[in-house]
Chain A
Amino acid sequence: MNIEIQNLVPVFVALPLAGSLLIQLVARKRQAVAEGLSIAAMLALVLMTFGAIGSTGIYHLGGWPTPIGIDLRLDELSVLMLMVVNLVGLAVALYSVNYMRRFSARGHFYGLFLLMVTGMNGVVLAGDLFNLYVFLEVAAVASYSLVAFGCAHEELEASFKYIVLGSLSSALILIGVALVYGITGTLNMAHMAGRLAETGMDAPLLLAFGLFLVGFSFKAALVPFHAWLPDAHPSAPAPVSAMLSGVLIKAIGIYVLARLAFNVFGVSGNVLELLRWLGILSMVVGGLLAAGQGDIKRLFAYSSISQVGFMVLGLGLATPLGLVGALYHLVNHALFKSLLFLNAGAVEYATGTRKLDELGGLNRALPVTGATSLVGSMSIAGVPPFNGFWSKLIIVLACIEAGYYGFAAIAVAVSIVTLAYQLKVQRQAFFAELPLRLVGIGKEPRAMALAMILLAVGCVAMSFAVLSGLRDPWLIGAAQQALTAGIFGG
């Protein structure tokens, strides 16, 4: 089994790319073919990811040995991220079948969507720094186009802001890559880790890591660098928002930060403290700004910033418990945030509005949306049996264990704020009286309902994951061990 998966590693990147190209070729007029191809591709990717659980390995492209050639690296953290990306991608692809019916250029959407999945799979599997950058750009350019997909006023404005800030951060990342290459003489991450362990973190390397930190914080939307997210995520079409908020900011932001900080640079001390403070800042600012929003999707976007702060706080603690909390929260947030954005999209599809003032009583009109959004809201707010509660509890416990009582208190306070604004959404949109204007709206179509149920089932399943004991070397525990193992080969 190990050997088979090792040979199939490039297929994770090649399959969605080939799917995207085939869609561009054949499905321009016959758009049902595009839908079928994309769902088939995502299904194949999910099945391959399930087959890859427990395998690790390094795949040398072209047969060239490590320092010379390009490596694709499959380790436990990569498997976890692949699961997240492909599962959420499958649900979103199912959902888009109905949601995108009102756009006539649907074929382009599926092509761009598969291109974004290619980029994210590539980032997660890349074994050297420059290929990471190239796949990052592929995913980012696809996402810029997807945010502007409907060409309405707000979508174009949001996409312009996103593309300018994204290009700036990519330029910063490239300067960092240049500096690190100049110092260590290699781009391969395993090789670089060895060289960096010898030289230690002197000033030019700190500068390079600082540039990476700023660049990838832009991608992950941590607080001083979050300005693009509250415009880009709400304005995009709902499946795109779900992919962006649920997966993209984590695959190209948090994952790369964790990889660089723990496995390549081997940071400690001051840098980890900086990560912790960035996390706290994002948690507080995101939570407070979310509470004051009147538009569902903008509220969820600020909430994403807040939850990403939790993850970075867990990463900054660098203890095994903190890392488990951060990774568990990453998986949970991917599931429930994309579920919430799909719900908001279903609401918009059925009612035509996103403002909380104009909505109400949707539990009766849209039963599946109401039920799944209740699951999602309870999860993100951290209500006891659901998965969000467990991951936030683990992060709070990790703070206390490491001695940061203040951070733990702030985390609990932000959770309460999260609960408050989620309850506000639930009360105003789903439980209140149905306004006269909205009487007679249809139920949500079957494919959309299926996608939302899939994600809700995923949330509930992840709540049970904590029972199995997350320290076991399976998925999350294994990923945490990959990070705490320190630098590659060390």
Chain B
Amino acid sequence: MISSDRNPGMGMIVQTVARWLKGLILLFGIYIVLYGHITPGGGFGGGVIIASAFILVTLAAGEATGLRLFGKPAASRLDSVGLLAFLILAWLGTWFGSHFFENFLTTPATAQFTLQSGGTMLLNNIALGLKVASALFLVFSVLAALHVATARLAQAGSTGIEPPQAPASAESPGGEDRS
């Protein structure tokens, strides 16, 4: 599963099918996130499905292709931006409504079972889906890239985790998922 540079990914059939399926999986994940207030799913489940699309590409076509689609700095930033957006939405509840986290978007009573019926829940789901997807893919790519007992220990630059000059040459543990 962990590919070397000479032989990235799996065979021709797997790569072709993965190339076709990744868009569909991504679309399905986005659907689960958006309709989270009507059908089961929401931010958590939908985010995991979106991440699995990228993970599928990484497994099928190799690490380099997966990281080209969704790089580690971008994932890290989207991770923080997602949760910050969630917090800002919660704080907007005090601004527009009266309580932290309040659902301040009013919906007409006739709009049941549509996208607007959840109010802020839709926006919260989107922020959460963004966060969970990027966090899960970041965890996967960092763990998959921790090549054990090979020379590629120091992932300098691209992840921002530089090798320290501390006594035992080490890095901070990667892949902390803050959910």
- The answer on direct contact between A and B (beta carbons under 8 Å) is yes
Inter-chain contacts of A298 with B (CB < 8 A):
none
- Quote the shortest CB–CB distance from A73 to chain B (angstroms): 14
Cβ of B108 under 8 Å from chain A: no
**Inter-subunit contact A104/B83 (CB<8 Å):** no
A14 pairs with B87, CB closer than 8 A? yes
With A21-B87, A105-B162 in contact, do A61 and B171 touch (Cβ < 8 Å)? Answer: no
Total interface residues on A, using CB and 8 Å?
A: 35
Q: Is the CB of A60 within 8 A of B99?
A: yes
How far is the CB of A142 from the nearest CB of chain B, in Å? Answer: 8
B160 touching A28, Cβ below 8 Å? yes
A424 at the interface (CB under 8 A from B): no
A22 at the interface (CB under 8 A from B): yes
**A146 → chain B, closest Cβ, in Å?**
10
Complexed CA–CA distance, A7 and B162 (Å): 42
Instruction: Give min CB distance, A131 to chain B, whole Å.
Output: 12
Contact status B166-A145, CB under 8 Å: no
Closest to A149 in B: B172
- Which residues of chain B have C-beta atoms less than 8 A from A21's C-beta? 80, 83-84, 87
The prevalent SS among residues of A at the interface is: helix
A105-B161 in contact (CB<8A): yes
Decide yes or no whether B79 CB sits under 8 A from chain A. Answer: yes
Q: Give the interface centre of B76, B97, B99 by most chain A CB atoms within 10 Å.
A: B99
Query: B100 near A61 (CB under 8 angstroms)?
Result: yes
- The interface centre, meaning the residue of B83, B87, B101 with most chain A CB atoms within 10 A of its CB, is B101
Q: Is the CB of B77 within 8 A of A105?
A: no
Interface 0/1 of A145-156, CB less than 8 Å to B = 100111111000
Question: Which chain B positions have C-beta within 8 A of A151?
Answer: 168, 170-173
Tell me the residues in window 157-179 of chain B with beta carbons closer than 8 Å to chain A beta carbons.
160-168, 170-173, 176, 178
Are B170 and A63 in contact, with the CB atoms below 8 A? no
Q: Residue A10 at the B interface, CB < 8 A?
A: yes
A141 within 8 A of partner (CB): yes
Indicate whether B45 reaches chain A with its CB closer than 8 angstroms. Answer: no
B25 part of interface (Cβ distance < 8 Å): no
A211 at the interface (CB under 8 A from B): no
Q: Is A59 part of the contact surface with B, judged by Cβ < 8 Å?
A: yes
Query: For residue B163, which residue of chain A has the nearest CB?
Result: A104
**Contact pick for A105, options B80, B90, B99, B164, CB 8 Å:** B164
A103 touches B90 (CB 8 A): no
Q: Is B93 an interface residue (CB 8 A)?
A: yes
A355 interface residue per 8 A CB criterion: no
CB distance from A345 to the nearest CB of B (A): 15
**Counting CB contacts under 8 A, is A98 at the interface?**
no
How far apart sit A488 and B31, CA to CA, in the bound complex (Å)?
44
Q: Is residue A108 within 8 Å, beta carbon to beta carbon, of the partner chain?
A: yes
Would you call A153 and B168 a contact (CB within 8 A)? Answer: yes
In angstroms, Cα B79 to Cα A112, docked, is: 15
Cα A104 to Cα B168 in complex, Å, equals: 12
Q: Are A63 and B99 neighbours in the complex by a CB distance under 8 Å? A: yes
A440 at the interface (CB under 8 A from B): no
Can you list 7 contacts pairing A with B, beta carbon distance less than 8 Å?
A10-B101, A25-B80, A25-B81, A61-B100, A63-B102, A105-B164, A152-B168
* Beyond A18-B84, A25-B80, 7 additional pairs, beta carbon < 8 A: A14-B100, A28-B76, A60-B99, A102-B164, A102-B166, A105-B161, A142-B178
A-to-B contact residues, CB < 8 Å = 7, 10, 14, 17-18, 20-22, 24-25, 28-29, 59-63, 102-105, 108-109, 112, 115, 138, 141-142, 145, 148-153
